[in-house]
């Protein structure tokens, strides 16, 4: 049996949570699956999803305050005071076992409810994204910090970028960090899908995310990055959710969530990347490469603007890769100034977002503020990915801000003729002596960071 | 953050005097006021009484949590008193209240960390073993050590 409950009290300070805890304990004692939404002064926590309501055997509202019941039309519903939630939790749950609980009916579906419904659908997109991002952040932090540390201490500048000697212990530490990064996009996609479709969504989401992040599946030199991961997560989630609604014979019902749904949804999301998304990514990459090569004669300011925007746009995704490889190949042709501009652009997104979290705490949740500190460390050693959690959570505000910041940095650095002969970015290349005019290099980075931080904080709203 | 960060040792009284509910409320308000928690004792008491009118905060299990959210509160704080005789608090289960937590919360305050702490306190009070340990506390220090576990 599965029971849902809502607890609430006038001040929302104590009784709400006592009743919730008491109901949870009672559920545990009776072997009944229970989830309790608390409507307290902190706000709504542990919110019941429409899916959970659909599959629940009964609803308990233990509240001394008005609770919106429109979500529960057609469900057996017990309404009582919060005190009963504290003292009579077991009795309340047992009532559903005997089955004589009245089903809640409401004849007048009001306009108000329709509005609330639409609003919750709009928020669903962000809710799914946020779920994915919150699970991804520790992977980015662990991976990013270990890579940052090993590059900063063990890295040696070479023609092919900052390399860590194979016999060094830092190589192994770096590998552990890379393992963390490898999980980043699959975890993002997996938990977006899980937020949409519950457990059956996790496997297709993670598999889809892995495919999205690995271009080799679809003949592309670069994967689709975190933006591809978000796409994979949503596709896997909604496909799984749709398959869940299929009417299937009783006999195969038990294997639906563990076998059929994950299998079919994985096939759909994999096919999408291999047959539909993959080819355009590969052709966009080759088109962008040709385009950049053609831009060499054009004004250096325009080239700088384009490169800055490309580096920040998808942070490690295909567009970023094209710009980076273009800069690296230019070093081989003796033009080190393009890599100079790119190196500055690389570190603006993570440092800019980190500084933004320090400037205005009210616009970022606690986990984000921690991710912000890690992002600054990653930015200093040229790991753009540090900004991904921010961009994945709120792409429409964050991506433009980091693009503009990186463009400011590339233009300043390009006009100052700063050269960089190591294909790597961040403050570390200057520290290692690869930058020809370190002062103007840092001026460009700082200007870009300030622009990004101010712009994103203007665009972002306070968290509620 | 811990519950004890919302408390000082002076706010813990292992031998709470006061015969009736009203007297105990006054005693605990005095303690909060002595620690600089309140702007106005009178206004805070009004908030406490208003909440008691909406329904007794005697939650049963020998626990009462009179609480007030008011502009008269400078900073979130919790006072704890242990009454050996018990105080009649109109509890649902009829038992006298022995573990009395008075909670003061400002009307508006930045962040909700203190609300999280009170949430932890509420959850912990549902734990019978913890309540029994607290009932056994005989000194300020013993009570403080138990309260330090919360958060």
Q: What is the pLDDT of residues A404-432, one digit of tens each?
A: 999 999 999 999 999 998 889 999 999 88
Percent of chain A clearing pLDDT 70 (strictly above) = 96
Whether A107 and A80 have beta carbons less than 8 Å apart is answered as no
Residue A110 has pLDDT above 60, yes or no: no
For the ranges A60-69, A112-121, A382-391, the one whose mean pLDDT is highest: A382-391
Whether B47 and B106 have beta carbons less than 8 Å apart is answered as no
Residue B114 touches chain A, beta carbons under 8 Å: no
A52: exposed, middle or buried (C-beta count within 10 Å: 0-12, 13-18, 19+)?
middle
Least confident piece of the model among A56-65, A209-218, A280-289:
A280-289
pLDDT of the residue at A277: 87
The residues, any chain, with a CB within 8 Å of residue A330's CB and separated by 6 or more, are A336, A338, A339
Whether B150 and B124 have beta carbons less than 8 Å apart is answered as yes
Per-residue pLDDT of chain B (151 residues; tens, 9 = 90+): 789 999 999 999 999 988 899 999 999 999 999 999 999 999 999 999 988 888 888 888 999 999 988 889 998 999 999 999 899 998 878 889 999 999 998 887 656 777 888 888 988 998 999 999 999 999 999 999 999 988 7
- Number of neighbours of residue A398 by Cβ within 10 angstroms: 26
Q: A2-98 falls under which CATH superfamily?
A: Response regulator (3.40.50.2300)
Please list the residues that pair with B63 across neighbouring strands: B60, B99
The residues, any chain, with a CB within 8 Å of residue A177's CB and separated by 6 or more, are A142, A143, A144, A145, A146, A147, A148, A149, A150
pLDDT of the residue at A225: 86
Q: What is the mean predicted confidence (pLDDT) over A308-326? A: 91
Percent of chain A clearing pLDDT 90 (strictly above) = 51
- pLDDT digits over A33-65, tens only? 999 999 987 788 899 988 899 889 899 999 988
Residue B109 touches chain A, beta carbons under 8 Å: no
Look at chain B and count its residues: 151
pLDDT of the residue at A396: 92
Domain range annotation of chain A: 2-98, 122-459
- pLDDT digits over A295-305, tens only? 876 788 999 99
Provide the shortest C-alpha distance from residue B91 to chain A (in Å).
10
Please list the residues that pair with A197 across neighbouring strands: none
Q: Which of A18, A41, A64 sits opposite B115 (nearest CB)?
A: A41
Residues of A in contact with B54 (CB under 8 A): 10, 64
User: Which of B97, B103, B122 to mutate against chain A (most A CBs within 10 Å)?
Assistant: B122
Fold of B3-147: Mannitol-specific EII; Chain A (3.40.930)
The Cα A181–Cα A178 span in angstroms is: 5
Nearest alpha-carbon partner for A136 in A225, A62, A253, A216 = A225
- Catalytic center residues of A: 9
The Cα A439–Cα A455 span in angstroms is: 24
Residue A326 has pLDDT above 70, yes or no: yes
ipTM: 0.85
B114 part of the active site: no
A contact set with B (CB within 8 A): 10-11, 13-18, 20-22, 25, 40-43, 64, 81, 83, 86-87
- pLDDT digits over A260-274, tens only? 999 999 999 999 998
User: What is the average pLDDT value for chain A, to the nearest integer?
Assistant: 88
């Amino acid at each position: 049996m599965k029971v849902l409950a809502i607890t609430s009290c006038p001040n929302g300070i104590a009784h709400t949570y006592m009743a919730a805890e008491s109901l949870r304990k009672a559920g545990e004692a009776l072997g009944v699956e229970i989830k309790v939404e608390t409507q307290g002064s902190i706000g709504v926590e542990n919110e019941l999803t429409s899916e959970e309501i659909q599959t629940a055997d009964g609803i308990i509202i233990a509240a001394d305050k008005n609770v919106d019941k429109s979500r529960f039309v057609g469900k057996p519903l017990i309404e009582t005071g919060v005190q009963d939630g504290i003292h009579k939790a077991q009795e309340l749950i047992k009532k559903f076992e005997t089955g004589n609980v009245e089903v809640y009916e409401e004849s007048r579906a009001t306009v108000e409810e329709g509005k609330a419904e639409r609003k919750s659908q709009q928020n669903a997109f962000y809710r799914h994204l946020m779920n994915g991002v919150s699970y991804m952040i520790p992977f980015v932090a662990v991976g990013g910090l270990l890579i940052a540390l090993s590059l900063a201490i063990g890295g040696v500048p070479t023609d092919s970028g900052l390399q860590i000697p194979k016999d060094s212990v830092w190589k192994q530490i770096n590998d552990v960090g890379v393992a963390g990064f490898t999980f980043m996009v699959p975890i993002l996609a997996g938990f977006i899908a899980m937020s949409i479709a519950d457990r059956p969504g996790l496997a297709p989401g993670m598999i889809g995310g892995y495919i999205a992040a690995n271009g080799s599946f679809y003949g592309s030199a670069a994967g689709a990055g975190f933006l591809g991961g978000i796409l994979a997560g949503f596709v896997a989630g909604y496909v799984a959710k749709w398959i869940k609604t299929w009417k299937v014979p009783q006999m195969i019902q038990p294997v639906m969530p563990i076998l059929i749904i994950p299998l079919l949804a994985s096939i759909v999301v994999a096919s999408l990347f291999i047959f539909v998304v993959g080819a355009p990514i590969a052709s966009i990459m080759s088109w962008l490469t040709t385009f950049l090569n053609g831009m060499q004669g054009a004004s250096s300011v325009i080239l700088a603007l384009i490169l800055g925007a490309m580096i920040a746009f998808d942070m490690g995704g295909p567009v970023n890769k094209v710009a980076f490889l273009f800069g690296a190949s230019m070093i081989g042709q003796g033009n080190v100034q393009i890599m100079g501009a790119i190196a500055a652009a690389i570190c603006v997104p993570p440092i800019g977002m980190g500084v933004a979290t320090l400037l205005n705490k009210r616009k970022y949740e606690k986990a984000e503020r921690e991710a912000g500190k890690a992002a600054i460390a990653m930015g200093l050693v040229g790991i753009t990915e540090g900004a991904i959690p921010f961009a994945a959570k709120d792409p429409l505000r964050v991506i433009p801000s980091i693009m503009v910041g990186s463009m400011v940095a590339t233009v300043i650095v390009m006009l100052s003729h700063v050269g960089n002969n190591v294909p790597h970015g961040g403050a570390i290349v200057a520290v290692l002596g690869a930058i020809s005019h370190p002062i103007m290099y840092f001026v460009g980075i700082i200007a870009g960071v300030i622009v990004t931080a101010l712009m994103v904080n203007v665009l972002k709203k306070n968290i509620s | 953050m811990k519950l004890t960060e919302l408390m000082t040792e002076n706010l813990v009284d292992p031998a709470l005097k006061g015969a009736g509910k009203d007297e105990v409320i006054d005693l605990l308000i005095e303690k909060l006021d002595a620690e600089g928690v309140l702007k106005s004792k009178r206004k805070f008491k009004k908030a406490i009484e208003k909440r008691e009118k909406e329904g007794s905060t005697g939650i049963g299990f020998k626990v009462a949590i009179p609480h007030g959210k008011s502009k008269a509160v400078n900073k979130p704080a919790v006072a704890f008193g242990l009454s050996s005789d018990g105080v009649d608090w109109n509890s649902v289960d009829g038992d006298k209240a022995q573990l009395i937590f008075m909670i003061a919360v400002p009307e508006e305050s930045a962040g909700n960390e203190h609300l999280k702490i009170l949430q932890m306190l509420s959850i912990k009070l549902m734990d019978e073993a913890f309540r029994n340990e607290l009932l056994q506390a005989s000194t300020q220090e013993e009570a403080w050590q138990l309260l330090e576990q919360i958060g």
